[in-house]
Chain A
Amino acid sequence: KQEVTQIPAALSVPEGENLVLNCSFTDSAIYNLQWFRQDPGKGLTSLLLIQSSQREQTSGRLNASLDKSSGRSTLYIAASQPGDSATYLCASNYGGSQGNLIFGKGTKLSVKP
């Protein structure tokens, strides 16, 4: 069964810290992996997408890496800000006739001023 696990479930850091969120997936035959941000009761905002052929993607203060062989992805957030407080979800996509995303349960991030 294809599963996605995110550790930790919750994280609280002071403003300005660099932090890493972890995501692991059971099936390494991944097509791509996507990171999302979700604010309470709101929709999903796509942050970064990494194709299986890529090792990392960067957008502003965010950097996501992908290691297919170990079944892991990390989201690195530099110089965290209170506005970064949200739940971060990673989702794996195995392509083919499916293409649907399999989500982890997310990491709830709180950045304190």
Chain B
Amino acid sequence: AAGVIQSPRHLIKEKRETATLKCYPIPRHDTVYWYQQGPGQDPQFLISFYEKMQSDKGSIPDRFSAQQFSDYHSELNMSSLELGDSALYFCASSLGLRTDTQYFGPGTRLTVL
């Protein structure tokens, strides 16, 4: 069965650079969530999209932005990267907001040097 795809899987950036993370949800899933998991931490919700519209916002810095495209894939854009942005970034998808299971991708490990 198709799963959530994230790219790249690993990314190394310098401070103040920008990064773009991509998420391809399970086919026919219309909802995408982004989570950030710092070292030794639990995942924290960043932002979500339902039918290409932002549905909720969590602890996402103003330096980050995201969108969901017509094919339902989503991109998380991160600018002016800081050392503290180093984390595992997960994308999850589901069918609808009042959801059943959220299916997580393998994550993108971002390292900011």
Measuring CB to CB, which residues of chain A are less than 8 angstroms from any residue of chain B?
A: 31-32, 34, 36, 41-46, 49, 89, 91, 93, 95-106
A34, A97, A106: the one contacting B42 at CB < 8 Å is A106
* Distance between Cα atoms of A100 and B101 in the complex (Å): 11
Within 8 A of A (CB), among B61-112: 88, 90, 92, 94, 97-107, 109
Would you give 5 A-B contacts (Cβ < 8 Å), ordered by A?
A: A32-B100, A44-B104, A46-B103, A98-B48, A98-B55
- A-contact 0/1 string along B32-56, CB 8 Å cutoff: 0101000001111100101000011
| A34 cross-chain contacts in B, Cβ below 8 A | 101-102
**Nearest Cβ on chain A to B39's Cβ, whole angstroms:** 10
| A98 cross-chain contacts in B, Cβ below 8 A | 48, 55-56, 97
* Distance between Cα atoms of A26 and B50 in the complex (Å): 26
Contact between chains at B98 and A96 (CB < 8 Å)? yes
**Nearest Cβ on chain B to A43's Cβ, whole angstroms:** 4
Contact between chains at A49 and B100 (CB < 8 Å)? yes
Contact between chains at A31 and B98 (CB < 8 Å)? yes
A42, A89, A100: the one contacting B58 at CB < 8 Å is A100
**Nearest Cβ on chain A to B95's Cβ, whole angstroms:** 11
| A31 cross-chain contacts in B, Cβ below 8 A | 98
| B45 cross-chain contacts in A, Cβ below 8 A | 100-102
- A97, A98, A99, A105 — most chain B CB neighbours (10 Å): A99
| A95 cross-chain contacts in B, Cβ below 8 A | 97-99
A49, A96, A102: the one contacting B101 at CB < 8 Å is A49
| B105 cross-chain contacts in A, Cβ below 8 A | 43
Contact between chains at A97 and B55 (CB < 8 Å)? yes
Task: A44-B90, A100-B45 given; name 20 further pairs at CB < 8 Å.
Answer: A31-B98, A32-B99, A32-B100, A34-B102, A41-B109, A44-B43, A44-B104, A46-B103, A46-B104, A89-B43, A91-B43, A95-B98, A95-B99, A98-B55, A98-B56, A100-B48, A100-B58, A103-B42, A104-B42, A106-B42
